Each structure stands twice: as structure tokens, then as C-alpha cells.
Structure 1
Amino acid sequence: MSNKQQALWQQAQRHTQHQQWRQAAAAYEAIVDHDRGFLPAWLELSMAKEKLDGYRDAYRAVVEASHIADVPPMAAMVVARRLRRFEDLPRLQDYVERTGLAGRVPPEKLIDLASFFASAGAYEKTLGWIEHALKLRPDLAEAHNMHGLVLMFAGRSEESATAFERALKIRPTFASVYSMLSRVAKITPEHHHVDALRRLLAQPNLSTKDEGHLAYALHNELHELGDHEGAWDALARGCRARRIEQPYDHAGTMAMFDTLRRHFDATFSRGDAFDDPLTPIFIVGLHRSGTTLLERILSGHPDVADAGETYTFSAQLRLAADHVCNVIADETIAARARDLDYGAIGRGFLESMRGRSRGRAFVTEKQNPNFILLGPIAKALPQARLLHMRRDPADTCFSNLRTLFTHEAAYSYDQIEMADYCKAYHDLMAHWREALPGRVFDIDYDAMVREPEAQARRIAAHCGFDFREDMLQVGRESGMVATASSHQVRKGIVTNRGGVWRAYERHLGPMMERLAGHGLA
């Protein structure tokens, strides 16, 4: 680095430290103009551009960084993390293979890399890396935790629980492990973690994040033990902790819904068809409405690949709108939606999903909140099938309340907000049916579990392929299920999952009264 570049770098770093992003970006750009192989400047430029809400420039800087050869492994990990940030999973996979990164990083970083690939659906490779990391570092709690997660996705519940227990033996305070373990362990009066969870929850200076994980785990275990009063107290504490950690802006969400309704009427929502051998199947609905069951039914067909929950379509929207967004969509995306290039969005989506399709003619996308974006999806992908799963509002809302999500369901930790969001969802779906005549295919959860073959036949016919008996074998060992229903769906098609909320009815007055006021109970 020349003296001039060194001075520019120091200047750029000062601007970064003071969060003067525009000046920092200009300095980093000046550096890479002189030396396009200087990796740190490309990475810093990407982060500065992201702070300035310049999604395209931030993404382009990462792409430039990925072209630089002979990168030290820790720097290459930063490139991989940034590619994951922009949902460029094909480029991420190529980068890791091309640089041999998996063989150059220590076990703790290999676990991070494994998590990137798990999000890309490459579970076999992920599992191999985790097992290799465990051979090198059997005392690494994070590796046992990740091992448990992937085994859980694979339906290997007993092995998953054992892996989680190993993580806790190494680190007894590993809060997020308890919340996962509570979903796969067989909880009995002789085998449970209730006492340990209560001790941990009594600790002073507990972070709200850990409190949420521990409280939800305690709720799950007490629920299985039949202690519904204790389970409710734990759930209420978990919801309070999550609400602090993840606030919800209902007014902003409703403004976004209103903007989308104004833009996407029956005329504007029609897109220009284009030929492509891959047909996407979008599965949407509220969380916990049966969408995982539907995907398992579809993926039982040999022509259908299950991609699970991805942010691929949302990432294409962000690129087109040149806007950084950490959820499916926000008010800025909605405001810019009318002026986007939907042909480019559709083609970009299909190219990104091609690897996940594994050469099959159909690929599912089961990101539930995509119900928000059915107008943009229909316009960008006229050939897409839009399947909407609906379930009893009380069952769905309570199931949301008792599920610890990542970041897409901020409305689900308060009874009133949950009920109001459910109403808003119903209203938006009514708009999509009107704006997209014949495109939205409704599927009733109760009908699905009551008469699965009849429903599977009508779904297959709508999607454009023949019904196969294997579609009903949802408890099959093959395939991965990386959702909150990963353990439940392996039990097959269960007809008695409804009405769980009744055990907590006396505590659910605010939600039930609000649903009734909305005409949903």
C-alpha cells in the first residue's frame, strides 16, 4: 500500500469509527480505484454502502471482494458472511469451494460456515463439516448445538436430543440449546430440565435474549408435563422478554399493507410471461398454519424439490428497490414497488433457486410471510403457483404465541398484537384474491388432515402434476425440515392438533375477545 493509500485508509477508518458513512465510502472507493485487489477496502465499502441504504453498491462491493484470490482464511470468512447477508447462496457455495475455505479455518469458524450452508439447504455437506469439527474439538458446545439442529431437521430426534445434551454438559448455561432441546426431548416426570431451567431463570443480570430462550423452554417442558398454570407463567415471561428484545410497529406494518393494496390492483398485478423450465410453488399463510405439512406433501412427489424457508424473493426485491431491509418487506419496499423491474426480479429469483431445485421441474418456497408479497410475486413470476394455507384463527394465534421465532414474527409476543395482525393478514389475503383472480389457491388445514388424499389430489392438479401415493407419507425419513414444525411433522398427518389453546383459555381473554371483535372467533 502506497503512502497515499495508507493515508486514505486511516482517513476512512476514522470516518467509520465516527459513523460518517458517506465520507467513509468515498475514501474506500478511492482506495479500490487504485488497488482493486485490496480486500479490506471492498469489505468496508460494502458495509458503509449498506449503512447508506445502498443495497446494490453494497452487494457489488462484496461480489468484487469474492473475485480476489489468495485471501487469508479469516478474511475469506468475512466475504462468505457478507455473501450470506445478501442471500447470494450460489455465489457463496462457489466461493467456499473455490477457496477451499472449509479446510482452512479452525473448528469454531467451520461451525459458522456450516450454518451458512445449512441456510442454503446443503445439509449433507453441513453435517459432514460439523462432524469433522467435533472430531477436532469434541469440547466445542457450539458444534454439538449445530449438530443437534441439523439432526433435528433430518428427523433424527433422539440423536438430536443427545447432541443438545452434550452441548449443555459442556456449557450448562447455553440458553438457546434448552429451547431447541425442549422441542425434541421426550419430557417425562422422570426426565426433564424444569429444575435447571428455574435455577437459570432466577439468575441475576440475565439477558433478555437468554431469558426468552429459557422461559420458552420451561413453557414447553411444563406443557408436556401437564402443568398448564406453570407453563402459562413461563410463556408470559418469555413473551415479555421477547417483546423487549424485538419491538413491533403495528402502525408501520399496516401502512405497508395499505401501500401494497394501493399499488397492486388486478391490472398492475399481471406480469409478462417468460419461458423457464422451473416452476416455483409459493406456500404462504400465517406461521403455524400447516405450511410445513403442505410442503412435506408436495415434496413427496418426485418432480418437486423442497427449498424450505428462504429470503430469495425478498432479496431480489431489495436489489431492485436498492434498499436494505432485514425482514420480508417494509414501507420503503412497498413505496417503491410500483417502479421495479419485475422481469429482472423473476429471472433473478429463478436463477437463485435453481440449485435448490436439484434438477426438478418444481421447487417450493415456504417463507410464510411471503403472503405479504403475493402481488409482487404474481407480477414477477406469472407461472408461479400460489398456495395459501389457512387454519382456525384461535389455534393459529395461540400456536404463534407459544413459538419462539427468529425475527419475522415480532407481532407474536402480545395477545392483542397477535389478534390484530391476524385480522390484517385476513384482510390482505382478501385483497390478493380480488387482485389476483384464479391465482391464490386456498387450502384449509382441517380439511387437509381430515381428508389428506382428496386435498393432495386437488393441490397436485392445481400445480400441474399427477397425484402420487408417496405424497401422503409425510413422516418419511428422507428430506429436511428446517422449521418450528420439524419435529411434529415427522409424526405424520395428525388430526388432533387443534384446541391446544383451551387448556389456557382463562388466560387468553384479551386475544379471544379481540379475535371475536374482528369476526374471527
Structure 2
Amino acid sequence: MLQKKQFSNALAITSSLLTRYPDNIDALYLTAVCHRYLQQPQLALSTLNTLKSYHPNYARAYQEEGHNYRLSNSRSAIAAYEKAVQLNAALIASWKNLSELYRAEGQEWSADHAQNQVDYWSSMPQALVSVSSLINEDNVIKAEEICRFFLKKQPKHTEAMRLLAAIGVKHKVLDDAEFLLESCLHFDPEFHQARLDYVNVLHKRQRYEQALEQALLLRSKSPDDVRYQMAVANESQAVGEFNQSIAIYNSILEQLPDNSGVLIMLGHAYKTVGDTDNAVAAYRKAGACQVNFGDAYWSLANLKTYHFSTDEIAMMQRHEQAPTTAFEDRFHLSFALGKAFEDASDYSQAFSYYAKGNALKKQQLRYQAARVDAECKAQIEVCTPALFSKQADTHSLPNTLSKQDSRPRPIFIVGLPRAGSTLLEQILSSHSMVDGTMELPNIMSLAHRLNGRGGNDRPKRYPQVLAELSTEQLAKFGDDFIKDTEVYRQGAPYFIDKMPNNFRHIGLIQLILPDAIIIDARRDPMSCGFSIFKQLFAEGQEFSYNLEDIGKYYNNYVELMDHWNTVLPGKILKMQYEAVVTDFEEQVHRLLDFCGLPFEEGCLDFYKTKRSVRTASAEQVRQPIYQSGMQQWKHFESDLGPLSALVSTLK
């Protein structure tokens, strides 16, 4: 019907289909196309927002959005097309329109780059264009099948190798992806997109110094390419060179002063180093440069110390209600409005917006509480006293002990997010013998590698595989952890890993790093649960967008920590947040004693310590201890029934 231009008839069919299947991706997409051809752009954009709420990474939705904005709003059209090709580089129509729009705006370099992409993908075999689209549509199995079949005939085709690496990233088989990209660059060292993908894979594998080297190489080949400048800035941040990254972001902004994405990254860098005034300025400008840009307002709210004016709140409400506001902007705005109304003591409005933001964000995710429950129970079943006693004799051998004594000793701070782990890290990092780092992903990455390749429906190898690992393998994993985390340390005898989710892997930590110190950052379940609920996390923490899911996760956490304390008695120190706040000095002494550290006055004055902090509590830990937030959840008690029903008996 579309080919015959019978758009009204086609619309009647898709509308009927959507009454039965409201999230059907094809019906939503075709409905939007019909509205555009019927010259109903507002209906088309509204349909596309619905489509993106169900399928937020569907590239063709953004391309269609660009088509709707094409004649009326060139800036919005460019943003939509850029998002489309970011998700699926093979969308030739988006590249064509970007080339024209860039040239009309006087952005000659960008226009030439877009035209080069048109030429590149137009010459590409149709099979590989299909693979690119299938990857974006999450049909990874079919994409891999086509790609591997193609490579059997043309084993050195570099674009096919790059796409297969992208499939490996989707499968989280990062070692395969890294090898494929290395091979790709061996055959074609000038394949810049493959090298940029290589930077991203190295970053995911926490090989930040190598990633920075590759980013610098890209920039040397094409100094004016903003993507490569951004890659250098981002990897400079990853290795702790924040001043360098800030200088690069500012340099880019001299060329592109209204680029909201760069402004947001600049604001994050300023926030990390404690320059709040400049962070606020960058976030505000980002919001001014892009209409309805929710991330700018959430970034301000996420400073935790910023208070919105009445006019700002009214403006955010208008943005949130606007039909043209994108799905991701809407939930960012909802979380920001929740914080704004909470600060204004309008708790009913605050919870309404928190609930809306969480509901929208949860639509993006595929979180299954039952899967986490099964994984935690598997840890309890596998990690028995017998498993640890088998390793104990080996780790007590003289040569093993001497190696452990000569290397930095890790301190793992585990628990739930928003439970006070950043405060404990800041206290310990204020000690002269301790290096603070960040939430290191190394242990979770190792657990994933041990689990083997495969989707969620395939049998799990981890944690069962722990019983099969040799002493040599376990020792190597421990040595690798110390080596791979060296980039974050400054040479102190102790260093911190505060990834909270490591509580699910304490058995693995004990086996590979038996000298590790483990701190359990614990907080009242209602206070912690509500604090999690009102936090929009940058990534991960998928359990956090539903009160019932939070309650179930907290129960899994307590059950698993009880198990670790049973099978590893005396190994873990529980630090209760409420006790730290109300009896601070005694709890600091208790913490230092457990770690074997002599008392230093600086640990009491932790808020004076100058260091980068990358978590949501960055600004809070730069202030003295305060008790005002301990009972904040009580203002929302009547709305927290689903959480209370699951955690009311826990501590």
C-alpha cells in the first residue's frame, strides 16, 4: 500500500494492529511513515516517541524523525540523523541528508565526511549493509550467521571483520572483538572507523592506556575530526588526566560552541575534579543549546547541591510535557523534576516525577529479578567452606606469601549503591597509605569471562567453574587484577575498588586475592532503597527502577552477605552508614583498625582531600558529615509500600 501511496488505508491497518500489539516495532514505524506522507508531522513525531519508548535504540526511528524535521527544524533534523547513523552507520539516507544539512550550515568538513560515508556504504555489498541493520535491530544471531558466511568467501574483508567484532561486543565477548579489530587494522591500518571501534573495545576491557594510544594515533591521522578529539579527551579522563580532557573539550567548543554533548562531557569532567561552578556553567549552557535536553537538567540535579529556581522548574515541566520531547530527555527531566520538588518540600509532586522517570527508564531494560536471585543462590551453593579450605593451604606457601606481601593490597568496598560506599572510600583515600581509584569493573569482567560465551538462556559456567580452576589459574587472575589496576594507583601500599556489585563475587575475590580486605557498606533498607529509586544511574544497576525489584535485590544482597560471613568468618567488616554518621570518629578508628592502618587525622577531615570522584556522591563527600538525609524517605513513606513489604524486617 505504501508503494501505491495508499497511506490512509495503510494507516488503518497499522492502527488495527497496534490495538492488539502496542509495542510492535514495524507497525509503529509504518504508522509514523504514513503520518509523514499525509503531512501530519506532529502525529508522526508522537508515534516515533512511542516507538522509541519501546525500542530506544532503533536507528530507523531516528532517521524517520530526521525526515519529519528536515524542512522545518534543521538543528533537530541534524541531531536525529546523527543519532541514527551513530546506531546504524549503514543508513545511507541519513548520511545524504546530513551532508546537505551540514553544507547549508557551513560545516564543510562534516558535510564531506557524511558524503564519504554515502560513497562508502553505497559501494558496500548488500549482505554487509543488512548485517549492520540486523545488529542495530538486536537480531544478532542472524547478523552473525550472514557475516560469517560472507567471511568464508572473503576472509580478509575488513568491514565484515569490523562488523563481526561489533557482534562480539554485543555478545560481550570482548577478547574476540579485540582480536578481530587488531586483524582488521593489520590488513588496513588506515581504516579509521575500525580503529575507533578498537579504542572503544580497549576501553571496555579497561585497557585505558592502550585506548588512549590508539585515540592519539587517530587524532594524528585526522586532527580536525571531532570524533577523534573526543576519543582522546574521553580516554584522557579514563587514565585520570582530567586537566588534559578539560583542555580538549574546551578546544572543541571553540569550533563547536553550541555542541551540547561536548558541554555535558565538560561538565562531568569539572564535577569529577570538584570544580562545581564550572560544571554548573557547562550544564546550563548545554541546556540552553539544545531544546528539551533532559541530560543537562539531570546533570545539574545530580550534583546534589544544586537547587533549581521556580522559573527553572516551570521550564522543565514545560519541556517534560512537550510532545516533541524525546523519550530519553523525558525520563531525564522527570528525575530532575523529582529532585527539584523534593528540595522544595513538595513531596507528592516529587514522588510523582520520580515514579514517572523510573517507569520510563524501566521500559528500556530487560531486567529479571528471578535471574539475579538464581545467580545469588548459585554462589551460595558453590562457594562452600570446602571450596575455600582447598585453596587455603596453597596460599599459605612461603613463595605465595612473599609475593602477596610485596604487592599493593586491595580494599574492596561492596554493598548496594547509595549506601555510603563513596564516603568510606573518601575516608580511606584521605590516608597516606591508601590510593583511591573508582568503581573498577575488573572483577565483574572476570566473572563474565569465566561464565563463557552465550546468551542469557544458555547454561552458566560461573560460579560452578570456580571449583575447576587450578591454583595456577587463580594466582594468575589475582596477578592480572593487580597489574590491570595499576593505571589507577599512585604507588601506595593499599588501594580501593569500590564497585558495589562485587558483593556478588566475594567468593571469586577470596580465591584469587586471599589477602584482600572487604568492607560491607550497609545502610537502612528503606533509606537505601528510596535513595536508589530516585537516582538515575549512568549505566548498570538495572534493578533500581522499580520499588519491588529494589526490595528483592536488597533481600538477595543480605542473604548473600550472610552466607559470606558464615563461610568466611572475620573476613568482612560491616560498616553501617547510620553509625558512621552518628558516631563518626569511633567508626573511622574501627575502619582503620580492620584495614591494619595507623590512625591519621586526615581521615576525619576527609572532605578536605582533593581527588577525583566519579560517583553520584561526588559533591556530598566534599562536605563534612551531615545527618539531614538519613530519614528523608519518611516524607515518602505512604508511597513506598512495595519496598517496605519486602525489606521491613531487614537491617
Q: Structure 1 residues 200 and 115 mapped into 2: Cα distance closer, same or farther (>3 Å)?
A: same
Give the distance between the partners of 1:430 and 1:56, measured in 2 at CA: 35
Q: Which residue of the partner structure matches residue 574 of structure 2? A: 442
| SS, match of residue 216 in structure 1 | helix
Q: Does residue 279 of structure 1 match 2:279?
A: no
Q: Which residue of the partner structure matches residue 487 of structure 1? A: 619
Q: Does residue 16 of structure 1 match 2:131?
A: yes
Q: Which residue of the partner structure matches residue 77 of structure 2? A: none
Give the distance between the partners of 1:515 and 1:95, measured in 2 at CA: 48
Q: Does residue 138 of structure 1 match 2:261?
A: no
Q: Which residue of the partner structure matches residue 514 of structure 2? A: 382
RMSD: 2.9
Q: What amino acid is the match of 1:16?
A: V
Query: Which is worse superposed, 431-440 or 285-294?
Result: 431-440
What residue ranges of structure 2 are gaps of 5+ in the alignment?
1-123, 135-141
Could you tell me the TM-score, scaled by structure 1's length?
0.88
Q: Which residue of the partner structure matches residue 422 of structure 1? A: 554
2:210 pairs with one of 91, 99, 104: 91
Give the distance between the partners of 1:143 and 1:63, measured in 2 at CA: 29
| SS, match of residue 268 in structure 1 | helix
Give the distance between the partners of 1:145 and 1:92, measured in 2 at CA: 22
Tell me by how many angstroms 1:295 deviates.
0.5
Q: Does residue 322 of structure 1 match 2:452?
A: yes
Residue by residue over 1:244-279, the C-alpha shift from the partner in whole angstroms, topping out at 9 and shown as x without a partner, is 122420111111111111111122135454425121
| SS, match of residue 475 in structure 1 | helix
Q: Which residue of the partner structure matches residue 5 of structure 1? A: none
Q: Which residue of the partner structure matches residue 43 of structure 1? A: 162
Give the distance between the partners of 1:153 and 1:455, measured in 2 at CA: 27
Query: Which is worse superposed, 283-292 or 164-173?
Result: 164-173
Q: What amino acid is the match of 2:131?
A: T
Could you tell me the TM-score, scaled by structure 2's length?
0.71
2:286 pairs with one of 139, 144, 167: 167
Q: Which residue of the partner structure matches residue 299 of structure 1? A: 429
Q: Which residue of the partner structure matches residue 532 of structure 2? A: 400
1:250 pairs with one of 357, 369, 382: 369
Q: Does residue 196 of structure 1 match 2:315?
A: yes
Tell me by how many angstroms 1:413 deviates.
1.9
Residue by residue over 1:342-386, the C-alpha shift from the partner in whole angstroms, topping out at 9 and shown as x without a partner, is 333222211110111122222211111111111111111112111
Give the distance between the partners of 2:554 and 2:185, measured in 1 at CA: 42
Which stretches of structure 1, 4 residues or longer, exceed 6 Å deviation after superposition? 66-69
Give the distance between the partners of 1:332 and 1:265, measured in 2 at CA: 17
Tell me by how many angstroms 1:475 deviates.
1.8
- Kept in 2: contact 1:290–1:445 (CA 8 A): yes
Q: Which residue of the partner structure matches residue 3 of structure 1? A: none
2:565 pairs with one of 421, 426, 433: 433
Residue by residue over 1:206-246, the C-alpha shift from the partner in whole angstroms, topping out at 9 and shown as x without a partner, is 44422211100001111111211111111111111122122
Q: Which residue of the partner structure matches residue 218 of structure 1? A: 337
Q: What amino acid is the match of 2:494?
A: F
2:195 pairs with one of 58, 76, 79: 76
Query: Which is worse superposed, 95-104 or 308-317?
Result: 95-104
Query: Which is worse superposed, 265-274 or 21-30?
Result: 21-30
Give the distance between the partners of 2:333 and 2:299, measured in 1 at CA: 10
- Kept in 2: contact 1:298–1:471 (CA 8 A): yes
Tell me by how many angstroms 1:332 deviates.
5.3
Tell me by how many angstroms 1:52 deviates.
6.0
Residue by residue over 1:29-78, the C-alpha shift from the partner in whole angstroms, topping out at 9 and shown as x without a partner, is 7756xx6xx75454333234445665542333345457778535444322
Give the distance between the partners of 1:504 and 1:118, measured in 2 at CA: 38
Give the distance between the partners of 2:144 and 2:452, measured in 1 at CA: 17
- Kept in 1: contact 2:292–2:329 (CA 8 A): no
Tell me by how many angstroms 1:130 deviates.
1.5
Tell me by how many angstroms 1:21 deviates.
1.2
Q: What amino acid is the match of 2:144?
A: W
Tell me by how many angstroms 1:144 deviates.
1.2
Higher relative contact order, structure no. (Cα contacts within 8 Å, ≥ 6 residues apart): 1
Percent identity, please: 22
Give the distance between the partners of 1:358 and 1:42, measured in 2 at CA: 38
- Structure with max Cα Rg: 2
| SS, match of residue 629 in structure 2 | coil
Give the distance between the partners of 1:157 and 1:369, measured in 2 at CA: 28
1:344 pairs with one of 462, 476, 496: 476
Q: Does residue 312 of structure 1 match 2:442?
A: yes
Give the distance between the partners of 2:633 and 2:253, measured in 1 at CA: 41
Query: Which is worse superposed, 82-91 or 195-204?
Result: 82-91
Give the distance between the partners of 1:473 and 1:66, measured in 2 at CA: 50
Q: Which residue of the partner structure matches residue 177 of structure 1? A: 296
Give the distance between the partners of 1:351 and 1:309, measured in 2 at CA: 16
Give the distance between the partners of 1:408 and 1:100, measured in 2 at CA: 30
Q: Which residue of the partner structure matches residue 496 of structure 1? A: 628
- Kept in 2: contact 1:21–1:51 (CA 8 A): no
Higher helix share: 2
Query: Which is worse superposed, 384-393 or 435-444?
Result: 435-444
Give the distance between the partners of 2:278 and 2:380, measured in 1 at CA: 47
Q: Does residue 289 of structure 1 match 2:419?
A: yes
- Kept in 2: contact 1:293–1:489 (CA 8 A): yes
Give the distance between the partners of 2:644 and 2:438, measured in 1 at CA: 31
Q: Structure 1 residues 331 and 21 mapped into 2: Cα distance closer, same or farther (>3 Å)?
A: same
What residue ranges of structure 1 are gaps of 5+ in the alignment?
1-8
Q: Structure 1 residues 293 and 136 mapped into 2: Cα distance closer, same or farther (>3 Å)?
A: same
Q: Which residue of the partner structure matches residue 460 of structure 1? A: 592
- Kept in 1: contact 2:451–2:460 (CA 8 A): no
Give the distance between the partners of 1:469 and 1:103, measured in 2 at CA: 50
Give the distance between the partners of 1:461 and 1:97, measured in 2 at CA: 44
Q: Structure 1 residues 111 and 262 mapped into 2: Cα distance closer, same or farther (>3 Å)?
A: same
Q: Which residue of the partner structure matches residue 4 of structure 1? A: none
| SS, match of residue 521 in structure 2 | strand
- Kept in 2: contact 1:281–1:362 (CA 8 A): yes
Residue by residue over 1:404-449, the C-alpha shift from the partner in whole angstroms, topping out at 9 and shown as x without a partner, is 1134222222222211211111001001111222221211112222
- Kept in 2: contact 1:108–1:143 (CA 8 A): no
How many residues matched?
A: 504
| SS, match of residue 611 in structure 2 | coil
Give the distance between the partners of 1:108 and 1:93, measured in 2 at CA: 13
